[in-house]
Structure 1
Amino acid sequence: MSSADGSPGSGLLYRLYQRRIRRGLDPATLPGHVAMIIDGNRRWAKQLGYQTASHGHRAGAAKMREFLEWCDDLGIRVVTLYLLSSDNLTNRPDSELSDLIEIIAELAEELSHYRDWRVQHVGSDAGLPEPLVAALDAAEARTHDHRGLHVNLAVGYGGRKEITDAMRSIVASHHAEGRSLEDLAERLTPDLIGEHLYTGGQPDPDLVVRTSGEQRLSDFMLWQSAHSEFYFVEALGPNLREVDFLRALRDYAKRNRRFGG
C-alpha cells in the first residue's frame, strides 16, 4: 500500500490496516525475545544510486531505532540486533568497515540515552577497534541498572565462536577449581553451556526475523535459536515497515511451537 506520493506505508489505508493488525494481536501470544538480522543495507544504497554503502548502513541503523520502539511499545522485553559479524571484520572493505564501526558506536551511544533501555554488547571484543569497544562498554555501564527493554547489540559476533568461547570458559573455570576431566564430562550439560554464552542468563529468542528475503542464519545465535520460530521479510533493511513486523508477530502467534517435538 502506498500514499498518494508513492511512498510505502504512509497513506490513510495503510495506517488503518496497520491499526487493525495491531488491535488483533493478543499480548499473551507475543514473543518475549525477538532477534533481528538486518540485511540489505548495501543493496538499498546501491539501488538508490549512492556511491558508498555507508548511506545504507546509516539508514539501517535509523530503522533499527524505530524497530526497537515498535518492540518496546508492544511490551516485548528483549531484542537482539545482529549488527556486525566476526566474519564481517575480515571480508568487508576497510573503508566500508570503518564507516560501519562509526555508525554502530553512534547507535550504541544514542540507545544508551533513550527511554529506560538496557544496552548490552553480545559478541567478542577480538578484532574490534578500541573506540568501538569503548563505546559499547560505556553504553553497557550507563544502562546497567535500567529496567526497560533489554537491547543486545551483536557486534563482532559469530555463533560458532560464541560456542567455542563458552566451552573455553567452562574448561578454564573447571581447571581453576582443580577438578578432573571425568568430573567435567559429568557436569557438562546444555544448561551449563548456555550459562557461559554471551547471552548467559537471558531467555532464548522466540522469534528470529531477517530482512531482504535471504533465508539463512549467517552464524547468528546458533545455540539459542534451536527452538526459535523464523520469519523472513522481503523488504531491504532500511525499507522495513511497522506493518511488516506486525505481520511477523501475527504469523508467529498462529504457529504451534513444539520445541523439537
Structure 2
Amino acid sequence: MPEQISTATDTGILQVPETIAIIMDGNGRWAKKRGLPRTAGHKKGADTIHTIGLEANRLGVKKLILYAVSTENWKRPEDEVGYLCKLPGLFFDRYIRDLMNNSIRVTFAGELERFPESTQKVIRKAVQQTEANTGLELCIAINYGSRRELLLAARQYAADVQAGTRDNDLTEEEFADYLFVPENVDLLIRTSGEERISNFLLWQLAYSELIFTPTAWPDFDENRLRECLEEFSRRDRRFGGIKA
C-alpha cells in the first residue's frame, strides 16, 4: 500500500500523498478568455509549475508528475508547438536557482528525441544539475503518451526474454520497472473542468484517487492544491479490500 504522510497545517491534518500527478489543462482557454494568445497561457502555466512544485515540496510530497506535452500535442498550430519547445529553456533559466535552493530534483518521462536538440540539452542539463537533490522529485512528462509507454515496455521485455537476460515470467512489480514512471500514483488532479485522463499514466492510475477541478491551470495555486489534498484525505482508500 502506498505510503501517506501526515503533516500538520493551518487547516488541520492532511494525509499527504506520496505521489501526485497533475494534468495541467486550460492554458489556452485561460488565455483566450483574456484576449491573449495561447502562448501567454503556457507562459503563465509554467509559472504555476514553479508555485505548485515549491508547495508540494514544502508539504512533503515525494514525487510530482506533470503532464506537460503529450504525444498528441504535435497536432497543434506550428507557432504553439514552437513555443512549447522553447518553454523548458525559459522555465529553467528563470527557476533553476529556486529548484536548487529547495533541493528539488528534476526528472522527465517520455521521448525527448522528437524535440529540437536545444530543447533536449536544456532538459538534460536540468536533470544533471539537480540529480543530487533530496527533496521533491519534479517529473515532467514531455512527449509522453501512456499507450506508447506500455508498448515500449512490452517490446523491451520481449527483447530481454529473446536475448536470454530474463525468464519468460513477469510480475506486476517487474513490469513497472520497464515504464517511464514505475511508481503507483496516489492522487491524480486534472484542472480546467475536463473529466478524463487523456492517455496519461494508464498503468500507474489503477488505484489512484481522481480529483477534477474547474480551475484552469494558470489559476491553480497553493490554496487549490491544499483543497485537493484535503479532499484526498477524506477519501476511504481500500485497494479492493475491506477495512475492519
* Global fold match (TM > 0.5): yes
Question: Match for 1:156 among 143, 151, 158?
Answer: 143
Partner residue, 1:191:
173
1:222 aligns to 2:214 (yes or no): no
- Contact (CA 8 Å) 2:57, 2:104: kept in 1 or not? no
Question: Match for 1:74 among 59, 65, 68?
Answer: 59
- Contact (CA 8 Å) 1:208, 1:230: kept in 2 or not? yes
- Helix, strand or coil for the counterpart of 2:114? coil
How do 1:69-218 and structure 2 match up within 5 A? 69-89=54-74, 91-108=75-92, 110-113=94-97, 114=99, 115-177=102-164, 183-184=167-168, 187-200=169-182, 203-218=183-198
Bigger radius of gyration, 1 or 2? 1
* CA-CA distance at 1:248 after TM superposition: 0.8
- Contact (CA 8 Å) 1:112, 1:119: kept in 2 or not? no
- Helix, strand or coil for the counterpart of 2:206? helix
Misfit runs of 4+, over 3 Å:
108-113
* CA-CA distance at 1:110 after TM superposition: 4.7
- Contact (CA 8 Å) 1:85, 1:155: kept in 2 or not? yes
Question: Match for 2:18 among 32, 48, 65?
Answer: 32
* CA-CA distance at 1:178 after TM superposition: 6.2
Amino acid at match of 1:93: P
- Contact (CA 8 Å) 1:108, 1:119: kept in 2 or not? no
Amino acid at match of 2:49: M
Amino acid at match of 1:134: K
1:237 aligns to 2:217 (yes or no): yes
Gaps spanning 5+ residues in structure 1: where?
1-20
Q: Kindly indicate which of the two structures has a greater share of residues assigned to strand.
A: 2
Partner residue, 2:235:
255
Residues 91-140 of structure 1 deviation map (CA, whole Å, 9 limit, x = unaligned) = 11111000111113332455543221110011112422222211111111
Q: Are residues 109 and 194 of structure 1, via their aligned partners in 2, closer, same or farther at CA, if it must alter by over 3 Å? A: farther
- Helix, strand or coil for the counterpart of 2:239? coil
Alignment coverage as a number of residue pairs: 231
Partner residue, 2:10:
23
Gaps spanning 5+ residues in structure 2: where?
1-7
Residues 202-247 of structure 1 deviation map (CA, whole Å, 9 limit, x = unaligned) = x321111111011110111111011110111111111113222111
User: Separation in 1 of the partners of 2:145 and 2:179?
Assistant: 11
Partner residue, 2:28:
42
Give the root-mean-square deviation of aligned CA atoms. Answer: 1.8
What percentage of aligned pairs have identical amino acids? 32
Amino acid at match of 2:54: E
